[in-house]
């Protein structure tokens, strides 16, 4: 399951750099949880071709991440935002400006 989440997260960052066939295969397999056989039927190809296409696509996504590090950077930023929010909540008083601070943090998180 963790592998599926990892690949789909990388797909969110770098999917637009894949070919249309690669995008379709990744979306169907990792996003819609279809089997290799179901994807092969959908794409009009063999199960082995789908397997090879998915492996190549995964490798391409991992290569982009190794070079650009966007997913890792995003995860680190989310961790920092969570920590900042926790610390600010400890400091929070009745000043109405705190509500705006938390609204802005929520916007940054999106």
Average pLDDT over residues 22-30: 96
Same domain assignment for residues 16 and 36: yes
Q: What is the DSSP string of the chain?
A: -HHHHHHHHHHHHHGGGS-HHHHHHHIIIIIS---HHHHHHHHTS-HHHHHHHHHHHHHHHHHHHHHH-HHHHHHHHHHHHHHHHHHHHHH--S-THHHHHHHHHHHHH-
Average pLDDT of every residue of the chain? 92
Q: What is the CATH number of the domain that holds 8?
A: 1.10.10.10
Decide: residue 39, CB within 10 A, 0-12 exposed, 13-18 middle, 19+ buried: buried
pLDDT of residue 59: 98
Same domain assignment for residues 55 and 104: no
Residue identified by tokens 């092969």 is 40
Q: What is the pLDDT of residues 29-65, one digit of tens each?
A: 999 999 999 999 999 999 999 999 999 999 999 999 9
Same domain assignment for residues 37 and 60: yes
């Amino acid at each position: 399951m963790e592998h599926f989440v990892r690949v789909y997260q990388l797909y969110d960052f770098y999917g637009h750099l894949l070919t249309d066939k690669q995008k379709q295969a990744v979306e169907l397999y990792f996003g819609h949880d279809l089997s290799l056989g179901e994807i092969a039927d959908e794409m009009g190809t063999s199960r082995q071709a789908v397997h090879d296409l998915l492996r190549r696509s995964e490798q391409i996504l991992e290569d982009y991440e190794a070079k650009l590090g966007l997913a890792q950077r995003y995860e680190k930023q989310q961790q920092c935002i969570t920590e900042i929010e926790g610390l600010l909540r400890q400091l929070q008083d009745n000043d109405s400006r705190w509500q705006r601070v938390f609204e802005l943090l929520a916007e940054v998180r999106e």
